[in-house]
Amino acid sequence: MTEATGGIDFEDEGSGVVKKFMFVNRKAPYGTIYALESLEVVLISAAFDQDVSLVFMDDGIYQIVKGQHTKAIDVKNFSPTYRALEGYDIEKLYVDRDSLEQRGLTEDDLLVDVQVLDAAGMAKLMSEQDVVLSF
Amino acid sequence: MKFGILVNEGLYQHQASDTAYQFAKAAVEKGHEVPRIFFYHDGVYNSSSLTEPPQDDRNIVNRWAKLAKDHNIDLVVCVAAALRRGIKDENLAEGFRISGLGQLVEVGIQADRLVVFGD
């Protein structure tokens, strides 16, 4: 382990420390690769048994909108993965209310069950996290 | 304090890589620890040994390598993001290593703060 980490002694991943990890998704699912690669980190963090939350705000809301068809742009539609998160015990999904309303969307338009929070609620939730990764 | 750093943008194109470097340098000079810097998304390009910036410009790749050597920082490039973009061991600059996303989660767990540099 020491050699692999460049001489730095990290404890084993099984150290039992559980931190609150929040992934803030702010970008549309296609157009840039942020959303897809963010999802890859989310799945890995679940494998480390961390306390994971996902937030969707701004254009990130579109990541979990129903009925995505990407054939015409020749990009993989990865939206079914969000429905599989439950299987990884990732069940804390939050959506920013303003972002949802500004885009003319409601919870019924979303692929997964979410909790809708106003800005104050979101700020409180973020302040309670140990690690916030924004993509 | 122990800082983990995540760099999400490519070099020269975006300021994130420069700011991350300045932050890491300032932190270690103030006596803080930076055990690991993780490169993700286009950030993986920070590790390309094929870059040749003009002589009168900063050399971002070499600058990372020197900082890492001077302060024993683990520079980790995400393997999945790297392979997508053509970064492999053959063209990986000195001082970097390619590994998995688990290394990012691990530093998130072990550091006091994880600081993200990106868009």
Q: Is A41 on the interface with B (CB under 8 A)?
A: yes
B-facing residues of A in 42-71 (CB < 8 A) are: 44-45, 47-48, 50
Is CATH 3.40.1260.10 what the domain over A18-134 is classified as, yes or no?
Answer: yes
Neighbours of A78 (CB within 10 A): 16
Domain count, chain B: 1
pLDDT(A46) > 60: yes
Altogether, the residues listed in chain B come to a count of: 119
Beta-bridged to residue B99, according to DSSP, are B78
Of the candidates B81, B106, B114, the beta carbon closest to that of A10 is on B106
Tokens linked to A97: 């209310």
Q: A24 Cβ partners below 8 Å, 6+ apart?
A: A55, A57, A60, A126, A132, A133, A134, A135
> What one-character DSSP code corresponds to residue A130?
S
Query: pTM (2 decimals)?
Result: 0.91
ipTM field: 0.91
Which CATH number fits the domain that encloses residue B39? 3.40.1260.10
Question: Which 3 state secondary structure label does DSSP give A12?
Answer: coil
Q: Which of A12-16, A80-84, A86-90 has the lowest mean pLDDT?
A: A12-16
Q: Domain ranges for chain A, please list them.
A: 18-134
> Contact A131/A19 with Cβ under 8 angstroms?
yes
pLDDT(A1) > 80: no
Mean pLDDT computed over A4-12: 47
How far is B37 from B78, CA to CA, in rounded Å?
11
> How many Å lie between the alpha carbon of A133 and the closest alpha carbon of chain B?
7
pLDDT digits (tens, 9 = 90+) for B5-24: 999 999 999 999 999 999 99
Question: Which 3 state secondary structure label does DSSP give B8?
Answer: coil
Question: Which of B43, B106, B109 lies closest to B78 in space, CA to CA?
Answer: B43
Choosing from B37, B76, B78, B87, which is the catalytic residue? B78
Q: Report H helices in A1-135.
A: 34-47, 80-84, 97-102, 119-127
pLDDT(B97) > 70: yes
> The domain containing residue B6 runs over which residues?
2-117
Of the candidates B72, B80, B102, the beta carbon closest to that of A13 is on B102
Beta-bridged to residue B74, according to DSSP, are B36
> How many Å lie between the alpha carbon of A35 and the closest alpha carbon of chain B?
10
Q: So what's the pLDDT on residue A79? A: 97
